[in-house]
Amino acid sequence: MKKLLLLSLFLVTACSAKQSNVTKISDTFLINFLVFSEMKDLNKTNDEIDKKLWIKLYKVPNKADNNCFPESHGVCSYHYYLATSQLDDSPIINAYSLGTYGEIVSTQWQSANTDEEKAIINFQVNKYSQLALQYNKKLKNEKTTYQLVAMPNEIIFDKVKPNN
């Protein structure tokens, strides 16, 4: 009788166990993004500016570009992605691919001086990653400034023309 009771308890417990919803991801882009990306929360910079949007910047190593590391493998450039969100209960959210650049080395929020949901951020961009410049002294770095204008449903990311 004891054995029958234990067997019944085991069967009831085994049958009521919740099934796992784990599935293996096969999308190579998503896998590389999840494994190799680094995220920078741009809202945590320049505290004195009132932010109207939530903006996160992601960088993923550009594995195809490693020719700046002779006889070695290293990261010469990154592909950048940007995610935006309004700061309310039912936000408009979007994600964008900004393209491949050496490395974004600094960001600076600009005051939008407006009540509309807009962010203006300047980016200082190296032609090569900082690691590549450190490792290969023959590389000639070029710094370029880009300006991001982000709104809930669109962004503009353009090179800033130097002042002459």
Yes or no: say if 119 and 82 are a contact pair by the CB < 8 Å rule: no
Residue with tokens 């990154």: 78
Residue 161 pLDDT: 87
The reported pLDDT for the residue numbered 128 is: 94
CA distance 89 to 66: 43
Decide the pairing of beta strands 154-159 and 143-151.
Answer: antiparallel
Reduced to 3 states (helix: H, G, I; strand: E, B; else coil), residue 71 is coil
Q: Output the pLDDT for position 143.
A: 96
Q: Are 1 and 8 in contact (CB under 8 A)?
A: no
Which residue ranges make up each domain of the chain? 27-159
Q: Please state, in angstroms and rounded to a whole number, the distance separating the CA atoms of residues 54 and 39.
A: 13
For every one of its 164 residues, what pLDDT tens digit does the chain have, with 9 covering 90 and above? 556 554 555 555 555 556 789 999 999 999 999 999 999 999 998 888 888 899 999 999 998 877 787 777 788 999 999 999 998 899 999 999 999 999 999 999 987 667 788 999 999 999 999 999 998 889 999 999 999 999 999 999 999 987 75
Q: What is the pLDDT of residue 9?
A: 54
Q: What is the pLDDT of residue 70?
A: 73
Do the strands 78-86 and 93-101 form a parallel or antiparallel pair, or are they unpaired? antiparallel
Angle ∠(71,76,82) on CA atoms, nearest 5: 155
3-state secondary structure 78-134: EEEEEEEEECCCCCCEEEEEEEEECEEEEEEEECCCCCCCCEEEEEEEECCCHHHHH
How many C-beta neighbours within 10 Å does residue 150 have? 24
- Structure pTM? 0.82
